[in-house]
Structure 1
Amino acid sequence: MMGEFAGKHVFVAGASSGINLEIAHAFGAAGAKVTVLSRSEEKIAAAAQGLRDAGATALGIACDVRDYAGLEAAFANAVAAHGPVDVLVSGAAGNFLAPALKTSANAFKTVIDIDLLGTYNVFRASWDHLTKPGASLIAITAGQAVHPMAFQIHACAAKAGVNMVTKCLALEWGPAGVRVNAISPGPIADTEGMRRLADPVREAKIKKSLALRDYGTKADIAEAAMFLSSPAAKYITGTILNVDGGNDLGDASADALGLGG
């Protein structure tokens, strides 16, 4: 897709590291002007410099996605530098493992505010700055949105909300030519989430349960984002795209399939 996004403005929230930063690099390599945003001034400055070192035109903005007024200013500054937003990715997230009885109301609210309210804030604050028609908006969600998980009540609730924000905005904003979709990554190698589960026994068990028998890569998610923002996806909106090696299908281990071994 080299050059396919030349001159386009791609804005990625939550992009100081991981999947979201990989998405920013992919679009930058394809010729886009990239704005990256995250709450840590030091980390987002480093992320923007890394993009520039790779040859991209990049702007870094420090802002917390829970700060709506700050986001309004961030979009105004980004558009002043790069023009209207053609592609917007909202991927800021917070998570931890904890049983509900050890999750305080404040801890629960923190994840809701970052993941769910943050996604809404990013999308809503972007409206006046989008290319209309033609903008592609993408939320980064997770399998917890549809599959309840122990020790993840906060993330399950937040991501379920992200899915519905995606679908509701797709309904409301489609008439203006704005498409809204989400990507639901499965187990992705070299990410903070998987590093927390990286002991060899746990890793082998996860891989054996996947239909495709391996972790995905950050590049897999970046390529999905580029597809959803390309002319090839011009008739796709309100879709939650699973990029998960079959994780959403359930346990594909030999034992679960009744094959043994």
Structure 2
Amino acid sequence: MALPRSDYLSNVWKDGIFDNKVVFCTGGGGTICSAQVRALVHLGANACIVGRNVEKTEAMARSIATARKGAKVIGIGGLDVRKIETLEKAVERTPTSKLETPILTNLPENSAGAAGNFLSPISNLSPNAFKTVIDIDTIGSYNTLKATIPHLVASAKKHPNAATNPDTGGRIIFISASFHFTGMPLQTHAAVAKAGVDALSASVALEYGPRGVTSNILTPGPIAGTEGMERLGNKAAEASGAAMRSNPLQRYGSVKEIADGTVYLFSDAGNYVNGEVLVIDGGGWRSPGSFEAGSRKYPDYLLDDSFARRIFFLGMLRFFGLEYDDMTMKLYIFMRGARDISLLREVQGK
């Protein structure tokens, strides 16, 4: 059953604006990416989405195909963006004889437990964990670029980027974040990885702009109902409304708003936009203050190692396959001492 258009696309966009276009999207099974691709398919595009989880990716492809009668959407699972040969094979399966605009490159939300979607102080961040995020996010973005850029250049040549041409080819969007704009406690791995993606996009814009290819960054803020917010969100602050009040617009964003930004950059309206960073976060990255861990304020949770202990506790629960409950809390208190009771209650916002 098709989702209502209002779930993933505003009414301002005209049907058919992406007729005969193709989108290639890594991480297409994720909440945000699937909404982006669904919007493009609704407006006429065909698509190939790839991801690590076979069942999830294929199921999402079938769901996205319901956005428009006759749409062709292929879902390719079991793909590792760290291995360029898997991406090259996926591109060959794209549902068209010629890959045309646009291409959507994104951090795979369904691989490695969602690269970067975890919190850790540098003191607890192993070199291997740091490298894994870089490999999936930054290197994965570069590999996707390398696998698709020959097709994008050919598309841009056939459909030149001119102010009078409503049918241009060769568009790239990289999905990024705003952590590295100011620095972010507990998100060093993601901040460094995304800074690399931003630099990659800027270089692509300069090197391939003369060939008619545009490259831009789309940076979402906190988006309600996503895997990222499920992992990173502060449940207690969300329940009280404090999390939303930290944003100038007093709310989280929606996947529809990210999809709308995607349509803009890929549409005729975005023909002259190149090398830019479009932040869709309600002005959140400009808000004062740093990340807060439960009731603890910055830098207290770093200086007293409380967040490091929290990570250790949650890791032990996952290792033994346990759920957070009063019994596990009592056991941990017995092992660590009553001083950590407030920390344990924060683990699930109790």
Q: Please say whether Structure 1 and Structure 2 have the same fold, judged by a TM-score greater than 0.5.
A: yes
> Which SS does the other structure have where 2:94 is aligned?
helix
Q: Is the 8 A contact 1:34 1:59 kept in 2?
A: yes
Q: Is the 8 A contact 1:227 1:233 kept in 2?
A: yes
In structure 2, distance between residues paired with 1:52 and 1:157: 35
- By how many angstroms is 1:82 displaced? 5.4
Is 2:241 aligned against 1:219?
Answer: no
* Counterpart residue number, 1:74: 90
Q: Is the 8 A contact 1:33 1:82 kept in 2?
A: no
2:133 to 111, 126, 131: 111
* Counterpart residue number, 1:122: 144
Unmatched segments (≥5 aa) in structure 2: 1-12, 109-114, 158-168, 290-350
* Counterpart residue number, 1:37: 50
1:132 to 156, 168, 174: 156
1:232 to 269, 285, 296: 269
In structure 2, distance between residues paired with 1:202 and 1:102: 26
Taking structure 2 as the reference length, the TM-score comes to 0.69
Is 2:185 aligned against 1:150?
Answer: yes
Q: Is the 8 A contact 1:75 1:129 kept in 2?
A: no
Q: Is the 8 A contact 1:61 1:74 kept in 2?
A: yes
In structure 1, distance between residues paired with 2:140 and 2:200: 11
Letter of the 2:156 partner, please give it. Answer: K
Taking structure 1 as the reference length, the TM-score comes to 0.91
- By how many angstroms is 1:205 displaced? 2.2
Letter of the 2:151 partner, please give it. Answer: H
1:54 to 67, 74, 85: 67
1:20 to 33, 52, 60: 33
Q: Is the 8 A contact 2:30 2:227 kept in 1?
A: no
Letter of the 2:128 partner, please give it. Answer: N
Q: For residues 209-230 of structure 1, give each alpha carbon's deviation from its aligned partner in whole angstroms, at most 9, with x where no partner exists.
A: 2111111101101110110011
In structure 2, distance between residues paired with 1:172 and 1:14: 26
Q: Is the 8 A contact 2:234 2:243 kept in 1?
A: no
With over 3 angstroms needed to count, the CA separation of the structure-2 counterparts of 1:216 and 1:129, relative to structure 1, is same
* Counterpart residue number, 1:245: 282
What RMSD over aligned residues (CA atoms) do the two structures have, in Å?
1.6
Q: For residues 42-87 of structure 1, give each alpha carbon's deviation from its aligned partner in whole angstroms, at most 9, with x where no partner exists.
A: 11111111122333320112221111011111112216x4531311
Unmatched segments (≥5 aa) in structure 1: 253-261
Q: Is the 8 A contact 2:221 2:279 kept in 1?
A: yes
* Counterpart residue number, 1:87: 102
In structure 1, distance between residues paired with 2:86 and 2:229: 31
Letter of the 1:115 partner, please give it. Answer: D
> Which SS does the other structure have where 2:200 is aligned?
helix
Q: Is the 8 A contact 1:9 1:87 kept in 2?
A: yes
Between the two proteins, the alignment pairs up a number of residues equal to 251
Q: Is the 8 A contact 2:264 2:270 kept in 1?
A: yes
Q: Is the 8 A contact 1:11 1:34 kept in 2?
A: yes
* Counterpart residue number, 1:4: 17
> Which SS does the other structure have where 1:139 is aligned?
strand
In structure 1, distance between residues paired with 2:149 and 2:220: 26
- By how many angstroms is 1:198 displaced? 4.7
